[in-house]
Structures are given as structure tokens and as C-alpha cells.
Amino acid sequence: MEWENQTILVEFFLKGLSGYPRLELLFFALILIMYVVILLGNGSLILISIWDPHLHTPMYFFLGNLSFLDICYTTTSIPSTLVSFLSERKTISFSGCAIQMFLGLAMGTTECVLLGMMAFDRYVAICNPLRYPVIMSKDSYVPMAAGSWIIGVINSAVQTTFVVQLPFCGNNVINHFSCEILAIMKLACADISGNEFIMLVATTLFILTPLLLIIISYTLIIVSILKIRSSEGRSKVFSTCSAHLTVVIIFYGTILFMYMKPKSKDTLNSEDLDATDKLISLFYGVITPMINPLIYSLRNKDVKEAVKHLLRRNVFNK
């Protein structure tokens, strides 16, 4: 009975940058600015893709989903992180932590799958342009996007359910900015090999499988581009997928480093490892959603033209 009472936690303490008040103020200002840019950038991209009829295509439908996803993902963690930077009481309830973990994992999984769908869309557009309207019809790309969200929710629900059922024997200090699943699992006082196996299966299915689809798609795209004789034609075709490829490299580069790098508590300095995890998590969770709309707008002629068209229309209407 005493052991059971010890496993009942009502809240967690988010360590974050506790002990470095000046650094917390600096991070508060930086993250607040980034969050505003995320909301404005991704929100503008969603509105542009809705308002401009020329952007009512599968690619921009997926892009709108990606922007909405980035807004949701950052909103699940950034506001609470900002509050913790200014508050002396850096705690979060057990249920609040579970909800944050569920939403973060669901959004992350959905983005992995969605990026795979976007790579397939670019493959069909470039390698099978004549069949593109048939293959990527509205009856196809809408269920593809919806399926990405459903997969994310199911995966997160399964993993979160198993994690919250773990016993926690008193240590409630999360050495992180938010309720990240790996940080929570480290606090459990039970064998987490089952959770690790579930995470391995989920990683293979929902991170590595979309990555494999992306690699195959872009390999076929590159082969197709190399067959084009004119350098101008090759440049034009590559520009249609360069923005997505850039986002994929940044997204998967950070997430694979964070979740698949070797971890050894015995051979590595744990404080240095945790500091690295925090910085990588910050890059993955804040900077990537911030630069996504910038990449798509700066490297995409269609978006630039849509912005110019909307601005001209507003000027003339006035």
C-alpha cells in the first residue's frame, strides 16, 4: 500500500533552464518572437492558399495542413513554456502533462506522415504529369491528408496510454521544457522495455516508413530531372520540389538526431546529454515551424505571385 501511494503523482516539475534566470528571460524573448512569427507566417500561408484559386491544388492543400499542424504543435507547448520562464512555480499537473504529451506526439507523427504524402505528390507531378489529375484527384488527396491526422492520433493515443500507466516513485522532475515522452519515461520506476518496443515499432512505421517513401520519391524525381536535356528545364522542375525537400531535410535531420542517437547513462555525461536534447528539441519544436512558411514563400513562385495578386487586389479595391 505504501508503494502504491508513492506512485500517485499529481504534478510534475519542469526543470527547463531553472537556475539560470537571466538565460530564461533571454529565451522568453526569443521564443515569444519566434512564436509570433510562427502564427503570422503559417496563418498567412493558410489564408493565401484558401483565397487564391490558383493554389487550390493537392500540393497547397497539403501545405495548408502542414501550416495548421505547425500552429497546433507549437501551441501545445510554447505558451506553457513561456509562462514557466516567468513563473517561480514551474509545475504542470499529471493530467495536463499527459494531454501535452499526447498532443505533441500526435502532431509530430502527423507531420512525418504528411511529409511523406507531399513527397508522393511531387513524384506524381514530376514523373507522371499526364496522370497527375487522375491520381491526385480530390477523392485521393483529401483522404490522404485525413489519414495522416488519424494515424497521428492513434499512434499518440497508444503510446500515451502506456506511458501514463507507468509507476512513478517520487521523482517528478522533468529535465525538459515540456512533457516530452522520452523525458517522462526516464522518470518511471519500472521496466520500460515494453514502452521502448512500442516506440521502436511506431518509429519504424510512422517516421522511417514515410522517410523511405520520401527517399524513393526523390530518387525517382532526380532520375527524371537528369533526363531533361535543357538546364533551364531541369532548374524549373527542381524548383517545384526544392522547398519541400529543404523542409524534409531540416525536419528529419533534427528528429532523427533527437530520437535515434545512441544514449548511454554510463559512458556519457548526463548533464551534457540533457542539454543537447533540450537544444535539439527547441530547434525541432520552434525553429522548424517558424522557417517552414519562409521556405515555402521565398522559394515558391506560385506563393509569391499569389501574395502580389492579393496585394494588388486590395490596393485597387481601396
Mean pLDDT: which of 9-23, 90-104, 223-237, 282-296 is highest? 90-104
Strands 11-14 and 173-174: parallel
3-class state of residue 318 by DSSP: coil
Looking at residue 26, its pLDDT comes to: 84
Q: Give, as one character, the DSSP assignment of residue 14.
A: E
**pLDDT over 90 at 145, yes or no:** yes
CB 258 within 8 A of CB 207: no
Q: Measuring CA to CA, which residue among 285, 278, 292 is closest to residue 249? A: 292
pLDDT value at position 85? 82
Per-residue pLDDT band at 262 (split at 50, 70, 90) = low
**Cell 498567412, located at residue:** 44
DSSP three-state, residue 20 = coil
**Alpha carbon distances (Å) from 93 to 12, 98, 287, 302:** 6, 9, 27, 45
Q: Is pLDDT above 50 for 265?
A: no
182 secondary structure, DSSP code? H
What pLDDT score was predicted for residue 268?
A: 40
Q: Give the rounded distance of the alpha carbon of 293 from its chain centre.
A: 13
Pick the more confident residue, 134 or 83: 134
- What pLDDT was estimated at residue 312? 67
This prediction has a pTM of: 0.85
- Specify the pairing of strand 91-93 against strand 11-14: antiparallel
What are the Cα distances from residue 72, in Å, to 79, 107, 202?
11, 7, 21
Would you place residue 299 in the very low, low, confident or very high pLDDT band (cuts 50, 70, 90)?
Answer: low
DSSP state of 53: G
Does residue 9 or residue 27 have the better pLDDT? 27
What is the rounded CA–CA span in Å between residue 172 and residue 166? Answer: 13
Domains by residue range for the chain, with CATH: 10-259+280-299 (1.20.1070.10)
